[in-house]
Amino acid sequence: MKRVACLSEGNLFIFEIYIYQFCSITKTLERYQRCCLNPQDNCGERDQTQSWYQEVSKLKAKFEALQRTQRHLLGEDLGPLSVKELQNLEKQLEGALAQARQRKTQVMMEEMEELRRKERHLGDVNKELKIKCSLELSSFEAEGQGLRALPFPWASNASEEAGSSTFHHVHHSQLNHMDCEPDPVLQIGYHQYMAADGASGSRSMAVESNIIHGWGL
């Protein structure tokens, strides 16, 4: 591995070929010349680097302080805190709790207002549906009355068929009744009646005498 040593103002710069093998030699030389010829620029870069380092240190310390405060708010690592620090922490928690409650109340009021708006909208929709249903029902009833007023041919045919069936049924029942009645029997001659008492016996004797006289004539 080759090394190039350059002496400039009592400073020794060693360049590794392996390190700078991906860089341009021209750019490296230009940067070296610029640093050598303009020491003020070099000092400015040093100051800027130092300021960046200080800024990073400040941000790191602030980040650690925020983490520590977060742990305190969560109730962790409270042992090293003094009474005053605990009081300050309590005030912070009370303030945060008040803000959280206020925000919760605001959100609940907004949700209630949204629910009221939806309720009013649903009420209006319900009224419109009721009106539409009443109109449809009235029109349906009117159409039903008109249909009932029309003369249906099948209704008259049905009544005629019912009347004819009733007539046939009555005529058939009369014929059946006449068929069921017994024919009149003509009684000629002598018939003896068995009487249960004296009155019926005398009546039978009178009938016999009448029949005998009739035959004699």
Residue 158 covered by a domain: no
pLDDT recorded at residue 76 = 84
Report the alpha-carbon distance of residue 99 to residue 110 in Å, rounded: 16
Q: Distance between CA 55 and CA 49 in Å, rounded?
A: 10
20: phi then psi, degrees, rounded to nearest 5: -100, 20
Q: Is 166 contained in some domain?
A: no
Number of domains present in the structure of the chain: 2
Whether residue 139 lies inside any domain: the answer is: yes
- The last residue of one of the domains, among 121, 149, 177, is 149
Residue 114 is predicted with a pLDDT of: 95
pLDDT at 138: 87
Q: Could you tell me the mean pLDDT of each successive run of 10 residues in the chain, 217 residues long?
A: 45 49 67 68 69 89 89 82 86 90 95 95 94 89 68 51 53 50 49 46 50 47
User: For residues 147 and 41, what is the distance between their CA atoms, to the nearest angstrom?
Assistant: 107
Q: What Å distances lie between residue 132 and 123, 139, 140, CA to CA?
A: 14, 11, 12
Question: What residue numbers bound the domain in which 33 lies?
Answer: 1-37
Asked, for residue 140, whether it belongs to a domain, the answer is yes
Q: Has residue 11 been placed in a domain?
A: yes
DSSP reduced 3-state for 13: strand
Do the domain assignments include residue 115?
yes
Res 161: pLDDT:
55
Task: Say if 133 falls within a structural domain.
Answer: yes
* Structural domain includes residue 127: yes
